[in-house]
Amino acid sequence: MEPIRYISTNRDLPGGHRVAVSFAEALQRGLAPDGGLYMPDRLPRWSPTELERLRGAPYAGVAEFVLRPFVSESIPPDVLRRICEESYDFEVPLEPLDDGVWILRLDRGPTASFKDFAARWMARALQYLSRGERHTVLVATSGDTGSAVGEAFRGLEGFRVFLLYPANEVSPVQKFQLDHIGENVTALAVRGTFDQCQALVKEAFLDPKLAPLHLTSANSINIGRILPQAVYYVYAWLQIARDAGPVTFAVPSGNFGNSFGGELARRMGLPVARLILAVNANDEFPTFLRTGTYRPLVPSRACLSNAMNVGNPSNLARYFDWYGGILTREGEVKRAPDLEAMRRQLDSVSVDDAATCERIRRTWQERRVLLEPHGAVGVEAFYRLGAGPRPAVCLETAHPAKFPEVIESVLGFSPTPPPSFERWAQRPPAVEPMDADYSALVKRLMRDA
């Protein structure tokens, strides 16, 4: 069978890049030469029998099964097995919430965020594929991505890592994590919004002057971040769908990479009843589903669920592609997707800060389940849609201890930090302030290159 190759979401635009590339090239490039996002040119299909054979497999084993066909051309089976086992050495529990409803706790990794799942796998895959070549990893983060990527690459020889984050839009705990990674990782505290950080990163990838730096991105624009996020949908389904029936997933959504992992799994044969893309007050996508008109929010709206403060989700271009449309990185619709098909498969609900806090309070008082703001948005979105169909899984994307101020204000106590938090307190800061200016970014990247 021919290996899966990767193509640009902009391939049908004038000047679009139509060449299909290997996983190794897509991973190391980050963006396609035309500014599009890489997509697999075809998908494997799982039979019910294949899925049933996975029951009882450890998380690393499920990851190996899901990822093998996507990387077969670039990563040998024994190396893939080792990468998965090294990446997933922590638990992935499901916590009961309601009758037929579970919380998938994706907060048990080294930075207490779901971003650990993709960042750890991607870092190890890139290290294997780089063959000693020096790379500069450039990341825009609205919160948890940066610390997860920084921790995944920390100390890896041949990699310089720069984490751009909006200085005034991350929580104090997130800022502390970002600023205290160190070694080969530098945090850049940008005086601006996440969307500005993201625009700076995208511009750098299209700048031929920076080609000698061998830039790669660990943002969810990179296919190496998307593919591993399909795994936990399969793993969760295996734990709860005893009759092999469909499951509803409610996904806190910012840049839409997390939910796209669910779309990927669904298209490969995972029985998914509904995929709910839960957003905060940045409601550009539910507005689009309702009206058919897409308008990015500029600037994005600041909310308690700060990692979701995204006014123009990068991975929406991937959704458009699979539903027959084209969306540019600036948020311009070049070809409309099949909106009715989107509506049949996807729901999207906007949840404001007041409703987020009320969901945290109710869930704790009624169920003694502790949510943080992002997970609360997902749970609230599920119940707003009539609490069905079930069984259902709501993704909890970060540890509540990353948002102690919010939990304290709503519930009157601070969550107990996980043991992984102790390491940051023992490190010196490695952070530099920066204006939201492209020339300033270039100057910093070229220093010590």
> What's residue 73's pLDDT?
95
The Cβ-side half-sphere exposure at 109, using a 13 Å CA radius, reads 25
In this prediction, the residues of the chain whose per-residue pLDDT falls under 70 are 143, 244, 387-388
> What's residue 388's pLDDT?
58
Tokens encoding 9: 């979401």
Residue among 64, 79, 70, 63 nearest 24 (CA): 70
Burial group, residue 344, by CB count within 10 angstroms (0-12, 13-18, 19+): exposed
The whole-angstrom separation of Cα 239 and Cα 56 is 8
> What's residue 299's pLDDT?
84
Q: Is 387 left (phi over 0), alpha (psi -120 to 50) or beta?
A: left
Catalytic site residue 115?
yes
Amino acid at 339: L
Question: 3-state SS string over 357-396?
Answer: HHHHHHHHHHHCCCCCHHHHHHHHHHHHCCCCCCCEEEEE
- Summarize pLDDT for 194-237 with one digit per residue, the tens: 889 988 998 998 899 999 998 887 877 899 999 999 999 999 99
Do you know the residue count of the chain? Answer: 449
Paired sense of beta strands 185-191 and 431-435, if any: parallel
Residue 64 CA from chain centroid, whole number = 19
Give the global pTM: 0.91
Output the DSSP codes for 50-75. HHHHTTT--HHHHHHHHHHHHHTTTS
Alpha carbon distance, N-terminus to C-terminus of the chain? 41
CATH of domain 91-113+226-411: 3.40.50.1100
Q: Where are the domains of the chain?
A: 91-113+226-411
The whole-angstrom separation of Cα 418 and Cα 78 is 33
Output the DSSP codes for 214-276. -EEE-STTSHHHHGGGGHHHHHHHHHH-TT---EEEEEE-SSSHHHHHHHHHHHTT--EEEEE
Residue among 121, 117, 113, 114 nearest 173 (CA): 113
Q: What is the DSSP letter of 301?
A: P
Q: Which residues contact 164 (CB under 8 A, 6 or more apart)?
A: 138, 139, 140, 141, 146, 188, 190, 197, 200, 201, 434, 441
Q: Which helix (H) or strand (E) holds 101?
A: strand 101-105
> What's residue 387's pLDDT?
57
Q: Contact at 8 Å (CB) between 224 and 126?
A: yes
| 373 phi/psi in degrees, rounded to 5 | -60, -40
Report CA Rg, the chain.
20
The counts of H helices and E strands in the chain are 19, 15
> What's residue 326's pLDDT?
98
The residues facing 185 across adjacent strands are: 161
